[in-house]
């Protein structure tokens, strides 16, 4: 199955790359900062058509709405273009993210970093990879020596979960905090050891499913802001190398 997921992520990524920098139709979703382009939709159609054909009967949740609910133990969770705002503005940081669950547990995940042409992949119990290279989180043990990444949801103006205060606190405490604009890539860069940690509020299942497994299979930890186990529907996500996890939680606790 993993080879199929990789193959379709690459094909969808090729559609996204082909559309990058061209004229494409943009629509607004919930607000004027929440975009969807015709490229998001084309990528999604390719992926959902592939799944329906090759794995008929499997359930699919896809961000732009072309999923199907079946009575299956298999559940595909698809973000056809993660980083749409970057894509629409010509910033080459975006990805395709596909996770597969069996009986509510993620068994495989693939994130394709489109412009760097890197496939991140993981299967439950078999490690995480960038191409053929095995991934391992780094072991930095001090928050002060850590480079972190975060993102902001489209309702950031409402400051959900004190998102601005969290950003301020960790910006002062860590070596730096980046904001790349593709949650799936943020997870993969924690798995690769580039970032020690990533947090965000109000993400969606398609932002989380593949990336969470990739971090865990690279030896990292993904929980909520209190250290509790989470699922793909959780609204508070903290992913880290595991070592600095509690230090971040402590900083968040001070803001309560
Ligand atoms: C968004 C990106 C971004 C994150 C947003 C997501 P989209 O996904 O992952 O990094 O900050 O919360 O919604 O809309 O580009 O697929
Ligand atoms: Ca997304
Ligand atoms: Ca998306």
Max CA pair span of the chain:
51
Which domains does the chain carry? 2-134 (3.30.540.10), 143-253 (3.40.190.80)
CB atoms within 10 A of CB 78: 28
The reply to whether the predicted model has a pTM over 0.85 is: yes
**Residue nearest ligand 1's atom 12 by CA:** 153
- Residues in the chain with pLDDT values less than 50: none
Give the residue, out of 83, 190, 237, with the most ligand 1 atoms within 8 A of its beta carbon, to mutate for a pocket test. 83
Ligand 1 atom 11 nearest Cα: 151
For residues 150 and 165, what is the distance between their CA atoms, to the nearest angstrom?
13
User: Distance (Å, rounded) from C-alpha 78 to C-alpha 96?
Assistant: 8
Q: How far is CA 18 from CA 15, 42, 85, 87, 101, in A?
A: 5, 11, 17, 12, 30
Three-state DSSP at 221 gives: strand
Residues, CB-to-ion distance under 5 Å, ligand 3: 63, 79, 81-82
Neighbours of ion ligand 2 (CB under 5 A): 79, 82, 207
150 CA: nearest ligand 1 atom: 11
Ligand 1 lining (C-beta closer than 6 Å):
79, 82-85, 151-153, 181-183, 200, 203, 207
Predicted local distance difference test score (pLDDT) of residue 209: 98
pLDDT of residue 35: 85
154 CA: nearest ligand 1 atom: 12
Report the separation in Å between the CA atom of 79 and the middle of ligand 1, taken as the mean of its atom positions: 10
Give residue 24's pLDDT. Answer: 87
pLDDT of residue 8: 98
Give me the half-sphere count of Cα atoms (radius 13 Å) on the Cβ side of residue 2.
19
Distance of CA 44 from the midpoint of ligand 3 (Å): 9
pLDDT of residue 85: 97
pLDDT number for residue 23: 87
CA of 207, closest atom in ligand 1: 9
């Amino acid at each position: 199955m993993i080879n199929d997921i990789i193959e379709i992520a690459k094909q969808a990524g090729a559609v996204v790359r082909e559309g990058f920098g061209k004229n494409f139709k943009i629509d607004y979703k919930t607000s004027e900062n929440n975009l969807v382009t015709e490229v998001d939709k084309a990528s999604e159609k390719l992926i959902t058509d592939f799944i329906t054909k090759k794995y008929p009967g499997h359930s699919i949740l896809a961000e732009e709405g072309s999923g199907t609910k079946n009575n299956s133990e298999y559940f595909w969770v698809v973000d056809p273009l993660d980083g749409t705002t970057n894509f629409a503005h010509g910033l080459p940081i975006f990805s395709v993210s596909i996770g597969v669950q069996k009986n509510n547990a993620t068994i495989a995940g693939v994130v394709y970093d489109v412009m760097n042409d890197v496939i991140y992949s993981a299967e439950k119990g078999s490690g995480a990879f960038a191409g053929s290279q095995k991934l391992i989180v780094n072991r930095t043990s001090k928050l002060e020596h850590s480079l972190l990444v975060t993102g902001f949801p489209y309702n950031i103006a409402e400051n959900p979960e004190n998102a601005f205060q969290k950003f301020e606190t960790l910006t002062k405490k860590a070596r730096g905090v980046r904001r790349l604009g593709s949650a799936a890539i943020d997870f993969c860069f924690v798995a690769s050891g580039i970032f020690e940690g990533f947090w965000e509020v109000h993400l969606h299942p398609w932002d989380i499913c593949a990336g969470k497994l990739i971090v865990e299979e690279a030896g990292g930890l993904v929980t909520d802001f209190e250290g509790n186990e989470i699922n793909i529907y959780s609204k508070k996500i903290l992913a880290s190398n595991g070592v600095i996890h509690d230090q971040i939680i402590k900083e968040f606790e001070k803001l309560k």
